[in-house]
Amino acid sequence: MLRKAEPFKIKMVEPIKLISREERVRKLKEAGYNPFALRAEDIYIDLLTDSGTGAMSDRQWAAIMMGDESYAGSRSFYKLEEVVKRITGYKYILPVHQGRGAEQVIFPNIIKNKGDYVLNNMHFDTTKAHVEIAKGRAINLIDEKAFNTDKYDDFKGNFDLDKLERFIEEHGVEKIVGIVITVTCNSSGGEPVSMGNIKGVRRIANKYGIKVFFDSARYAENAYFIKQREEGYNNKTILEIAKEMFSYGDGMMMSCKKDGIVNIGGIIAIKDDQELYTNCQSSMVPLEGFPTYGGMAGRDMEALAVGLEEALNEEYLEYRIEQVKYLGDKLMDAGVPIQYPTGGHAVFVDCKKICPHIPYYQYPAQAVCNAVYLAGGIRAVEIGSLLLGRDPDTGTNIESPLELMRLTIPRRVYTNRHMDVVADAVIEVFNDRDKLIGLEFDYEPKVLRHFTARLKPIKI
Ligand code: P61
């Protein structure tokens, strides 16, 4: 069968270079053994995140020229609003500067009392942070199968519906202000949530009268998985699947830096709750900006309106998901333990299995990330106990159920040849895994510590 290539050709290039190993050793030490502190120019292949790192199309760049920079009532806003309404079926649309902009507007408007609960399959770190800043409590209720990395399951982002209902019964419905469904579930591996599970959440929410929101940063990738894996969806378009999914929610937040394929931007969309909409509208003015730009330039809204359409294209999604799988397969063939099957935006390497000799409080996945930088100039990111931080009540280090190194693939940026180089470096580290050593803090920030922490290898 004829193989499929990337569904685009390259019109503009940005040079990258690999600095020497000695330089990488020095740069990593200067960065306090924290790849976040590395300069991008010292990185060969940057797999830190797929957020805002995608390549825009010629059509998006062309749309940028059409941006209407009017402070109020920008034409570009109405264009974006029309596209988002068409995808979600929701009535009220507010642009924000990025995902956490949406979070800082929404959560204080739904969390009424200290200690109110927000339930999620798995909160991403900024989402959890904003729930907690609003004095709420962020609870993860993902199905345990997500933690069994080597066992295949079609939908490792699913809620455990029994646990969800039990939690509501035990803690009282009056204390639960919302259920957030994160699609795909970033923290479990970019793993999808099935439509059946989404419907199940909706059923429970209806029974108790709780609102449902989507954290829809990667909703198009989730819709693609539903089309591929769930019965009854194979003949539907990605747009039809996305629309059905949103029909089970009351609102959505979106970091458009992912499936909007833009470098900056975000959205809040609310189905029909006028009170919530007007409350969000009022709070976004001092936080984000006037409701028809909300932290985005007119040109950014134009690029986003086009990017949202492009991300729903099935050929693009096929390429995207296949590239992630391509890297995952290479690693698995060499025996590297990964979250299996691969999800939508990254390969998650199971570092608990790679270095069982490093305890969680010495950050095994961070040790692997650092070694991969030294091996190939590749930047990955730790998703484990370093990211998870400390218990806000007791101050103790929380042990993450998974210690993962995320190799996050930007959209339309790297070719599979780049993926080959990444695989080589990771396999080299894997084959030498007994030499890896854990890390301790030189400096530990109080919140979101992984961004600016300084670490050092422990002395043995
Ligand atoms: C990421 F190292 N994700 O995965 P914003 N919801 C979800 C996200 O994945 C998400 C946001 C909300 C990032 C960026 C990132 O510690 C980190 O547009 C499911 O980034 O504000 C972001 O959207 C927030 C990387 C965020 C990090 C925090 O790479």
Alpha carbons 284 and 94: distance in angstroms, whole number? 9
Decide if 101 contacts 257 (C-beta within 8 A): no
Residue type, 267: I
Q: Taking phi first (over 0 means left), then psi (-120 to 50 degrees means alpha), and beta for anything else, what does residue 253 get?
A: beta
- Compute the C-alpha angle 151/378/443, nearest 5°: 95
Q: What pLDDT shows up at residue 392?
A: 76
- Give catalytic status of residue 33 as yes or no: no
Alpha carbons 34 and 29: distance in angstroms, whole number? 9
What spacing in Å lies between the alpha carbon of 320 and ligand 1's midpoint? Answer: 19
Altogether, the residues listed in the chain come to a count of 460
Q: Write the DSSP symbol of residue 362.
A: G
What spacing in Å lies between the alpha carbon of 133 and ligand 1's midpoint? Answer: 17
Provide the 3-class DSSP secondary structure of residue 244: helix
Alpha carbons 136 and 113: distance in angstroms, whole number? 7
Decide if 252 contacts 214 (C-beta within 8 A): yes
Alpha carbons 78 and 85: distance in angstroms, whole number? 10
Q: Write the DSSP symbol of residue 91.
A: S
Q: pLDDT tens across 254-267, in order? A: 999 999 999 999 99
Provide the 3-class DSSP secondary structure of residue 308: helix
Residue type, 96: V
For tokens 């974006």, what's the residue?
A: 80
Alpha carbons 258 and 252: distance in angstroms, whole number? 15
For tokens 């939908």, what's the residue?
A: 155
Q: Please list, in sequence order, all residues whose beta carbon lies within 8 angstroms of the beta carbon of residue 13, skipping any fewer than 6 positions away.
A: none
Q: pLDDT tens across 80-114, in order? A: 999 999 999 999 999 999 999 999 999 999 999 99
Provide the 3-class DSSP secondary structure of residue 331: helix
> What is the atom index within ligand 1 of the atom nearest the CA of 102?
21
- The pLDDT profile of the chain, 460 residues, written as one tens digit per residue, is 888 899 999 999 999 999 999 999 999 999 999 999 999 999 999 999 999 999 999 999 999 999 999 999 999 999 999 999 999 999 999 999 999 999 999 999 999 999 999 999 999 989 999 999 999 999 999 999 999 999 999 999 999 999 999 999 999 999 999 999 999 999 999 999 999 999 999 999 999 999 999 999 999 999 999 999 999 999 999 999 999 999 999 999 999 999 999 999 999 999 999 999 999 999 999 999 999 999 999 999 999 999 999 999 999 999 999 999 999 999 999 999 999 999 999 999 999 999 999 999 999 999 999 999 999 999 999 999 999 888 878 889 999 989 999 999 999 999 999 999 999 999 999 999 999 999 999 999 987 889 999 999 998 7
Alpha carbons 159 and 437: distance in angstroms, whole number? 35
Alpha carbons 415 and 434: distance in angstroms, whole number? 31
Copy the structure tokens of residue 57.
Answer: 């199309």
Decide if 24 contacts 377 (C-beta within 8 A): yes
User: Is the bond leading into 53 cis (omega within 30 degrees of zero)?
Assistant: no
Provide the 3-class DSSP secondary structure of residue 454: strand
Alpha carbons 150 and 426: distance in angstroms, whole number? 18
What spacing in Å lies between the alpha carbon of 364 and ligand 1's midpoint? Answer: 21
Copy the structure tokens of residue 347.
Answer: 């390969």
Ligand 1 residue neighbourhood (C-beta within 6 Å): 49, 51, 98-100, 124-127, 182, 186, 215, 217, 255, 257, 266, 381
Domains of the chain in start order, with CATH, are 21-50+313-457 (3.90.1150.10), 58-310 (3.40.640.10)
Residue type, 138: A
Alpha carbons 273 and 110: distance in angstroms, whole number? 12
Report the largest interatomic distance among the alpha carbons of the chain, rounded to a whole angstrom. 62
Residue of the nearest CA to atom 13 in ligand 1?
A: 51
For tokens 């570009």, what's the residue?
A: 76
DSSP assignments along 380-397, one per residue: -EEESHHHH-B-TTT-PB
Residue of the nearest CA to atom 12 in ligand 1?
A: 99
- Give catalytic status of residue 450 as yes or no: yes
Q: What pLDDT shows up at residue 272?
A: 98
Q: pLDDT tens across 368-422, in order? A: 999 999 999 999 999 999 998 888 788 899 999 899 999 999 999 999 999 999 9
Closest listed residue to residue 31, CA positions, set 43, 17, 44: 43
Decide if 296 contacts 264 (C-beta within 8 A): yes
Alpha carbons 297 and 293: distance in angstroms, whole number? 7
Residue type, 253: M
Q: Write the DSSP symbol of residue 71.
A: S
- Give catalytic status of residue 258 as yes or no: yes
* pTM strictly above 0.95: yes
Query: Ligand 1: which of 36, 48, 51, 261 to mutate, judged by most atoms within 8 Å of the beta carbon?
Result: 51
